[in-house]
Amino acid sequence: MSSLVNRRSVMTLYADAADPIAHAVRIVLAEKDVNVEISFVTEETKPEDLHDLNPYHTILTLVDRELVLYDAQIMLEYLDERYPHPPLMPVDPVGRANNRQIRYRVTRDLLNLASQLGRGDATAAAQAEQVIRDNLYAIAPILTQHPYFLSSDYSLVDCCLAPLLWRLPHYGIKLTPQARPLLKYAETLFAREAFRASLTAVERDMRH
């Protein structure tokens, strides 16, 4: 195993400071108050050993002694199981399955599209913006029923949505009053102490 693993006694997260998916992982780490070393790197600055740890050569990588994780959703569930308080997943199998399914859709339909924004292809970016906007309008009405996403309890779904909602001004995505329930929900997420603690300087600047 790589020397990066061998010399780490504290959990380490390698992440891009602006990546919304990595931000979701950092929110969970903050919610759980995990003792973690976060190393912010880019494609140009990531350590060579990271190529050995992550077979896909992507930046987002969680190292916990001999364990190496490079899928964000696996990271989220691992952290929730290893650090059970506060719980961020339902206890029943049906609730857990629904939580996973919603996170799958959030990642596929929103976060992956968000990664296309700010790149050189203006047409692809405009299409991505429209799809994201349409999806957000579609989910806005259901947010009138509970303080969190389909639940009275804060969960991993909320951890995944918060980074995207925080970045909407940065992406140039403006929503009409039709999305008022969504914007109210977003403010509830942003008010959480762990969310505020999770923000990097880059992310704070996205709202200025």
Q: Where are the domains of the chain?
A: 3-82, 93-192
The pLDDT assigned to 28 comes to 98
CATH number belonging to the domain at 93-192, selected among 1.10.600.10, 3.40.50.1220, 3.90.550.10, 1.20.1050.10: 1.20.1050.10
Cis peptide before 86 (omega within 30 of 0): yes
Average pLDDT for 23-40: 97
With tokens 């350590």, the residue in question is 47
The pLDDT assigned to 9 comes to 64
Domain 3-82 has CATH 3.30.70.270: no
Cβ pair 154, 148 in contact under 8 A: yes
Total residue count of the chain as it appears in this document? 208
What percent of the chain is modeled with pLDDT above 70?
Answer: 94
Q: What is the pTM of this model?
A: 0.93
pLDDT tier at 140, thresholds 50, 70, 90: very high
Average pLDDT for 106-133: 86
pLDDT tier at 136, thresholds 50, 70, 90: very high
Q: How far is CA 124 from CA 32, 62, 145, in A?
A: 37, 31, 34
Residue 27 has pLDDT above 80, yes or no: yes
